[in-house]
Amino acid sequence: MAKILVFNSVSLDGYFTDENNDMSWAHKDPNDAEWNAFVGENASGGAAGGGALLLGRITYELMASFWPTPAAMEMMPVVAKSMNDMTKIVFSRSMKKASWSNTKLVKGDLVAEVRKLKKSDKDMVILGSGTIVSQLTQARLIDEYQLVVNPIVLGKGRTMFEGVKDKIDLKRTNTRNFKNGNVVLSYEPTK
């Protein structure tokens, strides 16, 4: 059975976007060798590597406007290649068609569709897509959360768990510190 992993950056005060839905605060120095090596490793064989991306429309449109570009290939060639090559499943009721390579548009019920997808052997990762994260968390379909805690306080913003009504207990499975102040925390739900 496939696993679903969430990989998102969060501020120290728990927001994954600021009050304007901007996530650029999570992208630091483009010359940070340690962080870039981690991101490249995650894209090619870690969190996102080899599986499929599950995305909401807003996150999909942001990524589709960047990763296929020459600028993305120049800045982060390993990540760009991985993002462009992997299967992408975008959930949207309003989108007419998907233009990014290897993308499947799904308009059906999110939870029901993801339950079907989990019956495969292809792991999936969610990047951004807070509405999807909250719905799949509530449905208890997330197998692992990898959260990059950034050393910044936003004051206002959006949590990726808006709408979750039930308490979800998690156990920490890994921690990794970076020189830039980021800490990657990995959690799995306790069953």
Q: pLDDT tens-digit profile of 68-92?
A: 999 999 988 888 898 999 999 999 9
Crossing angle, helix 77-85 and helix 33-45, to 10 degrees?
Answer: 20
With a threshold of 0.85, does the pTM exceed it? yes
List, for residues 120-139, the tens digit of each pLDDT value.
888 999 988 999 999 999 99
| Sequence-ordered list of residues with C-beta below 8 angstroms from that of 190, at least 6 positions apart, any chain | 169, 170, 171
The structural domains of the chain, ordered by start, are 4-189 (3.40.430.10)
